[in-house]
Structure 1
Amino acid sequence: MGVLEFLGLRPDKPSLRRGGASGEDDLFDDEFQRKLEYLAMVSRRVFSGAMRAERRTKKTGSGIEFADHRDYAPGDDIRYLDWNAYQKFDRLLIRLYEEEEDLAIYFILDTSSSMGFGEGEKLRQAKRLCAALAYVGLANLDRIAIVAATDEISGRMPTTRGKARIFRIFRFLNGVKAEGATDLGAAMKTFVAQHKRRGLAVLLTDLYDPEGFERGINVLRFNRFEPYVIHLVDKNDAKPDIKGDVRVYDCETGAEREVTVTAKVLEKYQQAYDGYLEEAQRFCTTRQVSYFRADVDVSFDELILRVFRRGGFLR
């Protein structure tokens, strides 16, 4: 039995701490919104001056910043001929310019059952982090989209921009529930097929994928998105409060197995869990994928400040 199967060790069924639409209202209360404005102010200091230009994606077009030359071809607009270059080199050359585009930021929220297991704090924390980072992006005039992912794209909030749109994001996130199996590889294949405009892809997930979390990240990489992994972790996953003869179940597939849990078994499980965390971080680091571990016991605003300090989201 691998680490993933041990997710079912606790006897309670997956459930959010506060179920239903009204139960989620406190996620984005007035205090949360005040903290968002503070975080946006902090981000503007990080995001000022030349750093703003660095976050723009650039393509060759008819903008105002000169980029390069290429040889003239029949049908080219003669307004872009460089006559000075013609006088010097006796060649017809076309001036190319850089055209700035707003950065597209995609938030990909893992909404599989493992994210809502037990008290559901991983999904709640992921929603807070998603809303906070989305607000920072909106405040900086980026284009924001959010998708919910399991073994498919189960929900989507279309691209939007402008700070006032944060309430639309609140409504979308409030409606997201933890259910279904995980297959990030399959879900990300659908995602890249649906989103042709490349950009920053912020993946908020516990990385519990029976098929291997690497597949989903690699799909983003190979399709020229820039992955940013926010790894949701809960200490209760690492140290289940059980002992003796128990029946464990997989909260996503329902598969069951009877095991005898001893202190030695729990020790080996802790080692396997720690190894899994290290493997995830090592995979991302060696492939130059931004990686951030988000503990559910740390306040969302402190985690956002750590994201800023770590870099990769604002740059």
Structure 2
Amino acid sequence: MGLLDVFKKATAPLARKGASVNVDDDLFDDEFQRKLDYLAMVSRRVFSGAMRAERRTKKTGSGVEFADHRDYAPGDDIRYLDWAAYQRFDRLLIRLYEEEEDLAIYFILDTSASMAFGDGEKLRHAKRLCAALAYVGLANLDRITVVTATDEISGRMPSTRGKARIFRIFRFLRGAGAEGETDLGEAMKTFVAQHKRRGLAVIVSDLYDPAGFERGINVLRYNKFEPFVLHVVDPREARPDLRGDVRVYDCETGEEREVTVTAKVLERYGQAYEEYLEEVQRFCTGRQVSYFRADVSVPFDELILRVFRRGGFLR
């Protein structure tokens, strides 16, 4: 088994048993909320005008934007008859219009044990990103749903709209602890069965999935959701402070292994880590899945602005 295989198998690779987790009492203080208002203002400026038109659905109804004609049928509302077309073609045609709907945005937060390993910064960072993007969606009158996932859907905050509902999201995220194993493929099968309305599905995860990170993303793609991957990474995991004979373990399964850590081993391990990150990005890019690497060392608001600049979140 090569180093990359070891890396994929262990959700907390080269970690010394007995590491502790620090938990923040409040992630969403007044300073955080002030930054949210700024981000919402920026989003309205960036995504106003022509780009907002992309949010229209393909179905037709009684909106204001003309879409197409169809033949008149008994019982149709005669107010939508196109008399100009009748004069030209001697046919009764009904004018069809596009409906504009609020966008359904689903936040899928990975709450497996690996997200809280060490000092827990990955989970805290992921929660801030979820809250910030959810607030932007609420400010734009989108319909927001938040779920937590391990090898199942472990929690769900029902769909909500309006900026004032952000405090409901805060409460839900505060209560989300991290435990259990990762299997996003199985969790996403449950997710698509529970949510019939298609929309943008934002996966916020470190993607340490022994069964393969690809499965969960593919389940969403095949079921007509639009995946958006926020890959939460902690660069310190590529450079663990370990030397000599140590016992490493998988924080999700409890599997242990004796390892002799040398400078050469750490170098090869760091290379395997970088190769894995590149593999994830290649997979997403090759399937036109929006992908963004969310480094815990970068402030959440700076990351959100980068997401805005790159595009792909709001429609």
TM range (shorter): over 0.9
Q: Deviations over 1:199-246 (max 9, x none)?
A: 111110111111111111111111111111000000121111112222
Residue of structure 1 in register with 2:205 after alignment: 205
SS in 2 for 1:28: coil
Q: Which amino acid aligns with 1:236?
A: R
User: Take 2:200 and 2:289, find their aligned partners in 1: how far apart are those partners?
Assistant: 11
In structure 2, relative to structure 1, the CA distance for the partners of 1:178 and 1:85 (3 Å cut) is: same
By how many angstroms is 1:56 displaced? 3.9
SS in 2 for 1:3: helix
Residue of structure 2 in register with 1:167 after alignment: 167
The answer to whether the 8 A contact 1:3-1:272 is kept is yes
User: Take 2:94 and 2:47, find their aligned partners in 1: how far apart are those partners?
Assistant: 34
By how many angstroms is 1:55 displaced? 3.0
Q: List runs of 5+ in structure 1 lacking aligned partners.
A: none
Residue of structure 1 in register with 2:95 after alignment: 95
Q: Which amino acid aligns with 1:289?
A: V
Q: Which amino acid aligns with 1:9?
A: L
SS in 2 for 1:68: strand
Moved more, 85-94 or 177-186: 85-94
Residue of structure 2 in register with 1:147 after alignment: 147
SS in 2 for 1:109: strand
Residue of structure 2 in register with 1:226 after alignment: 226
Residue of structure 2 in register with 1:250 after alignment: 250
Q: Which amino acid aligns with 1:11?
A: R
The answer to whether the 8 A contact 2:17-2:249 is kept is no
User: Take 1:168 and 1:77, find their aligned partners in 2: how far apart are those partners?
Assistant: 42
By how many angstroms is 1:256 displaced? 1.6
Residue of structure 2 in register with 1:85 after alignment: 85
The answer to whether the 8 A contact 2:85-2:92 is kept is yes
User: Take 2:61 and 2:25, find their aligned partners in 1: how far apart are those partners?
Assistant: 46
Give TM-score, length-normalised by structure 2: 0.92
User: Take 1:57 and 1:237, find their aligned partners in 2: how far apart are those partners?
Assistant: 42
User: Take 2:19 and 2:59, find their aligned partners in 1: how far apart are those partners?
Assistant: 46
The answer to whether the 8 A contact 1:16-1:118 is kept is yes
By how many angstroms is 1:24 displaced? 2.7
SS in 1 for 2:115: helix
What is the correspondence of 1:167-186 to structure 2 with a 5 Å cutoff? 167-186=167-186
By how many angstroms is 1:58 displaced? 4.3
Q: List runs of 5+ in structure 2 lacking aligned partners.
A: none
Residue of structure 1 in register with 2:295 after alignment: 295
Q: Deviations over 1:8-43 (max 9, x none)?
A: 42224465312xxxx432x11111111111111111
Moved more, 47-56 or 192-201: 47-56
By how many angstroms is 1:180 displaced? 0.9
Residue of structure 2 in register with 1:11 after alignment: 16
Q: Which amino acid aligns with 1:93?
A: L
What is the CA RMSD across the aligned residues, in angstroms? Answer: 1.8
By how many angstroms is 1:132 displaced? 0.7
By how many angstroms is 1:271 displaced? 1.1
Whether 1:24 and 2:34 are equivalent positions in the alignment is: no
User: Take 2:285 and 2:25, find their aligned partners in 1: how far apart are those partners?
Assistant: 35
By how many angstroms is 1:76 displaced? 4.6
User: Take 1:109 and 1:49, find their aligned partners in 2: how far apart are those partners?
Assistant: 31
The answer to whether the 8 A contact 1:13-1:118 is kept is no
SS in 1 for 2:198: coil
Q: Give the length in aligned residue pairs.
A: 310
Residue of structure 1 in register with 2:304 after alignment: 304
Residue of structure 2 in register with 1:59 after alignment: 59
The answer to whether the 8 A contact 1:146-1:156 is kept is yes
SS in 2 for 1:2: helix
> Identity over the aligned pairs, expressed in percent?
81
The structure 1 segments of at least 4 consecutive aligned residues displaced by more than 6 Å after TM superposition are: none
Q: Which amino acid aligns with 1:163?
A: K
In structure 2, relative to structure 1, the CA distance for the partners of 1:75 and 1:162 (3 Å cut) is: same
By how many angstroms is 1:73 displaced? 4.7
User: Take 1:108 and 1:169, find their aligned partners in 2: how far apart are those partners?
Assistant: 13
Residue of structure 1 in register with 2:126 after alignment: 126
The answer to whether the 8 A contact 1:57-1:102 is kept is no
